[in-house]
A and B are shown apart, each in its own frame.
Chain A
């Protein structure tokens, strides 16, 4: 099977005798100077991750009693410090912690309070504002960052996945791709596809880029009859999602783009709404998160990973008490997971509010002690040098970033 890179596409087109100026399929994607070497990956954890189970505050005297089932056993092998331990499903990330490439922010949240709806909570998280603009007029904070990155092009930022990401939606042009789109054609089919597009510049240009993107996921675009079942391969990408490997395909694709001219990638991971039997139901999403981070690291390679920061954010935390069905319900203060070679990690950031009855928010939730937007703002400040006033005013529409936590190296 041949790998059909964009270069290959150009070469093949030349064989067909098209002049590069005339064929819209051949418009090269020009890249202006990209905004620096730093990369930012923002992962939205949809469904409200239970931070207290991910980053377990064993040092708090009230913790075990609040969670008789979930916090029954303290595994010293997973200790991050005297105070905190990691969830067993993230054990593979311990080496990153040791190297300072993993960190956490505890007891943080968006300004959203009280109604605890996933729908509104995620919209507030991605819009990055205190109140929601009416639907249809919403934009995401990462999109509002784009005009402030010198030399930014649509390819500078990628929203990945099948679902629309409000986080990157808005007026600034960005790129979208869903790695469960796969296209496989015979060489002849590809040539004929180009032929049918030759008189329509708009279609031709977008299709050329589509072919290049579809080919960059590692399994090529062209198919030689006899090489196996093309159809099942193409279906395979669609079905990867149902086999639970979609996150790896996304991580692969993200790494591919970040190694080139892309600087910002955003996607989401789902499955965090663990109302029942959390000891079991949290395993899959946490393992997927761990795998995604490790996969990104290896696929980016050391030089790019050194410049990369990963922010994992969720719409809100969950109740500090275990509920009647071995799970937890919607809460307020939550946890942010940080990773990357650019991170000054090996730390748990944020002020710990305590778990005593009077320490809690409405006597049920972890009290938020910081605004999750401030951490994101500092990551953008330190990654791209965007002025603080721009972040506070234009990107987040009225945020106080506070003092610098010295997030990155």
Chain B
């Protein structure tokens, strides 16, 4: 059962030589409802602030277009450059701060959950500086709801401007809406885009094996019409885009009177409380934290906790953390690259003092690019289904070589005085230090190889 080292390694962000591990499951859970100290200490701007960067950037581009060949053009060009440089710098800070949160936290579980839910609700900008908006989205739509109810997170994510952009909801127009009719009179067609509706059913709620039909996708897509962005890229519900009439999703009817966002949120709440959603979420959490094929009883305990509490997440986490299958001594899962890198830095004691003054270029070469070579470019999974969970995806020659290369290069680039590998092995693996790794740390010819051998040892790479 509960073991402070397993708590840090499997459910947190790794062992730290400086920070104390949680003392109990209650301790771990209490951390999630305590004030968000890491968000205070390493701030990331919410999307509501970030969107001004995008609108300013677009205004500068308009200025350039309208003043082609005049003196004013140069001024707008300069503006655009400044805005874009500042957004890139902010993006660098988001990256730095999200790593620091993992490295400095005494509630690693919160950081792991923030990642898990960000991945579950994958969304990112597809153009220009909107590409940097993922962290601001997470900060606003995901992080505040981690210890709350699933349905509140679902609504926050699905109605978020970045999601509406990412899954094409902002282009979707009800075929019978006034806007579509107006377009038709001018000879244009405006119609439905099912992308968001499909992913809500398949990825966000019921799961791909959920009992829904194409008709449910189409009906939900019709129900979603009206949700779009205003000129300032904030959320807007526009009646003229909404499909008139009621829609039926999974046998339940929504709307019918004047189009209303409340009908959409009602449908999302029902989807969130559906038994298939409980199963999907329980399964996914257990896979992420425990094993590729998690213990069926563990999943069932989590599923029941979800249903018994109307999708409140704390009881689900509690069910996971109080189940013996979660504490099996042998680690099953391989750390994702971002877990690997952050836990490596944490074990090495490379934290705020070092990273706060690391130059952006070093950060890029030593942390950002290596993640890409390990197969996990930061916040850029290929599709809305997020990162693969199965170990076999990550244990490939290329990805392992990239981890080894990083383990050899990064520690000494970031820290001049590398620790004695014997001490480091102890700090990084605690009582779980296998004899062969202890031997390798002792027998290494030099410090950097000793450190790298500990970091690349399967005992460190698994959680």
Q: Which stretch from A49-57, A199-207, A267-275 is at the chain B interface? A: A199-207
**Is A92 an interface residue, CB under 8 A from the partner?**
no
User: Which of B383, B405, B449 has a CB less than 8 Å from the CB of A181?
Assistant: B405
Contacts of A196 in B (CB 8 A): 434, 436-437, 440, 453, 456-459
Contacts of B384 in A (CB 8 A): 134-136
Per-residue contact bits, chain A 132-147, to B (CB 8 Å; 1 contact, 0 not): 0011111000000000
Asked whether B444 lies within 8 Å of A238 as measured between CB atoms, the reply is no
Asked whether B382 lies within 8 Å of A162 as measured between CB atoms, the reply is no
Contacts of B391 in A (CB 8 A): 202
Q: Which stretch from B13-21, B154-162, B181-189, B394-402 is at the chain A interface? A: B394-402
Asked whether B402 lies within 8 Å of A119 as measured between CB atoms, the reply is no
**Is A213 an interface residue, CB under 8 A from the partner?**
yes
For B383, B404, B456, the residue with the greatest tally of chain A CB atoms inside 10 Å of its CB is: B404
Q: Which stretch from B99-107, B279-287, B348-356, B365-373 is at the chain A interface? A: B365-373
- With both beta carbons as reference points, the residue of chain A lying nearest to B195 in the complex is identified as A134
Given A181-B373, A192-B440; A203-B461 close (CB under 8 Å): yes
Asked whether A206 lies within 8 Å of B445 as measured between CB atoms, the reply is no
**Is B318 an interface residue, CB under 8 A from the partner?**
no
How many residues in A have their beta carbons less than 8 Å from beta carbons of B? Answer: 47
How many residues in B have their beta carbons less than 8 Å from beta carbons of A? Answer: 45
Contacts of A182 in B (CB 8 A): 405
User: Which of B397, B443, B453, B457 has a CB less than 8 Å from the CB of A206?
Assistant: B397
Smallest CB–CB gap between A245 and chain B, Å? Answer: 16
Given A196-B440, A196-B456; A188-B445 close (CB under 8 Å): yes
Query: Please, how many angstroms separate the alpha-carbon atoms of A198 and B400 in the complex?
Result: 15
In chain B, positions 263-313 with a C-beta closer than 8 Å to chain A are none
Given A195-B436, A198-B436; A209-B444 close (CB under 8 Å): no
Given A198-B436, A199-B434; A210-B398 close (CB under 8 Å): yes
Given A197-B458, A200-B458, A214-B401; A176-B396 close (CB under 8 Å): yes
In chain B, positions 38-93 with a C-beta closer than 8 Å to chain A are 68-69
Query: Please, how many angstroms separate the alpha-carbon atoms of A177 and B405 in the complex?
Result: 14
**Is B385 an interface residue, CB under 8 A from the partner?**
yes
Asked whether B398 lies within 8 Å of A177 as measured between CB atoms, the reply is yes
Query: Please, how many angstroms separate the alpha-carbon atoms of A135 and B381 in the complex?
Result: 10
Query: Please, how many angstroms separate the alpha-carbon atoms of A214 and B405 in the complex?
Result: 10
Contacts of A200 in B (CB 8 A): 458
Asked whether B397 lies within 8 Å of A210 as measured between CB atoms, the reply is yes
Contacts of B449 in A (CB 8 A): 185-186, 188-189, 192
Asked whether B365 lies within 8 Å of A206 as measured between CB atoms, the reply is no
Contacts of A192 in B (CB 8 A): 439-440, 443-444, 449, 453
Query: Please, how many angstroms separate the alpha-carbon atoms of A166 and B198 in the complex?
Result: 22
Asked whether B443 lies within 8 Å of A162 as measured between CB atoms, the reply is no
Query: Please, how many angstroms separate the alpha-carbon atoms of A166 and B457 in the complex?
Result: 31
**Is A164 an interface residue, CB under 8 A from the partner?**
yes
**Is B126 an interface residue, CB under 8 A from the partner?**
yes
In chain B, positions 175-196 with a C-beta closer than 8 Å to chain A are 195
Smallest CB–CB gap between A195 and chain B, Å? Answer: 5
**Is B409 an interface residue, CB under 8 A from the partner?**
yes
Query: Please, how many angstroms separate the alpha-carbon atoms of A218 and B372 in the complex?
Result: 23
Query: Please, how many angstroms separate the alpha-carbon atoms of A175 and B395 in the complex?
Result: 12
**Is A101 an interface residue, CB under 8 A from the partner?**
no
Asked whether B398 lies within 8 Å of A176 as measured between CB atoms, the reply is yes
Asked whether A183 lies within 8 Å of B401 as measured between CB atoms, the reply is yes
Given A193-B453, A202-B395, A203-B461; A210-B437 close (CB under 8 Å): no
Asked whether B382 lies within 8 Å of A164 as measured between CB atoms, the reply is yes
Smallest CB–CB gap between A46 and chain B, Å? Answer: 15
**Is A284 an interface residue, CB under 8 A from the partner?**
no
For B412, B446, B453, the residue with the greatest tally of chain A CB atoms inside 10 Å of its CB is: B453
Query: Please, how many angstroms separate the alpha-carbon atoms of A197 and B461 in the complex?
Result: 11
**Is B336 an interface residue, CB under 8 A from the partner?**
no
Asked whether B401 lies within 8 Å of A162 as measured between CB atoms, the reply is no
Per-residue contact bits, chain B 191-213, to A (CB 8 Å; 1 contact, 0 not): 00001001100000000000000
Contacts of B195 in A (CB 8 A): 134
Query: Please, how many angstroms separate the alpha-carbon atoms of A137 and B208 in the complex?
Result: 12
**Is A149 an interface residue, CB under 8 A from the partner?**
no
Contacts of A207 in B (CB 8 A): 397, 400-401, 404, 456
Query: Please, how many angstroms separate the alpha-carbon atoms of A231 and B452 in the complex?
Result: 13
Asked whether B453 lies within 8 Å of A189 as measured between CB atoms, the reply is yes
Contacts of B437 in A (CB 8 A): 196
**Is A306 an interface residue, CB under 8 A from the partner?**
no
For B195, B199, B398, the residue with the greatest tally of chain A CB atoms inside 10 Å of its CB is: B398
Query: Please, how many angstroms separate the alpha-carbon atoms of A138 and B408 in the complex?
Result: 35
Q: List 19 A-B contacts (CB under 8 A).
A: A119-B126, A134-B383, A166-B382, A177-B398, A178-B398, A183-B405, A186-B446, A188-B445, A192-B453, A193-B440, A193-B453, A196-B437, A196-B456, A196-B459, A199-B436, A203-B458, A210-B401, A231-B412, A238-B365
Q: Which 7 A-B pairs have the closest CB atoms?
A: A136-B383, A135-B383, A200-B458, A210-B401, A210-B397, A192-B440, A136-B385
Seed contacts A177-B397, A185-B449; 18 additional CB < 8 Å A-B pairs: A134-B383, A164-B382, A166-B382, A169-B382, A176-B396, A180-B373, A183-B405, A189-B444, A189-B453, A192-B439, A192-B443, A196-B434, A196-B459, A203-B458, A210-B397, A213-B398, A231-B409, A324-B69
Interface residues of B (CB under 8 A from A): 68-69, 126, 195, 198-199, 365, 369, 372-373, 382-385, 391-392, 395-398, 400-402, 404-405, 408-409, 412, 434, 436-437, 439-440, 443-446, 449, 452-453, 456-459, 461
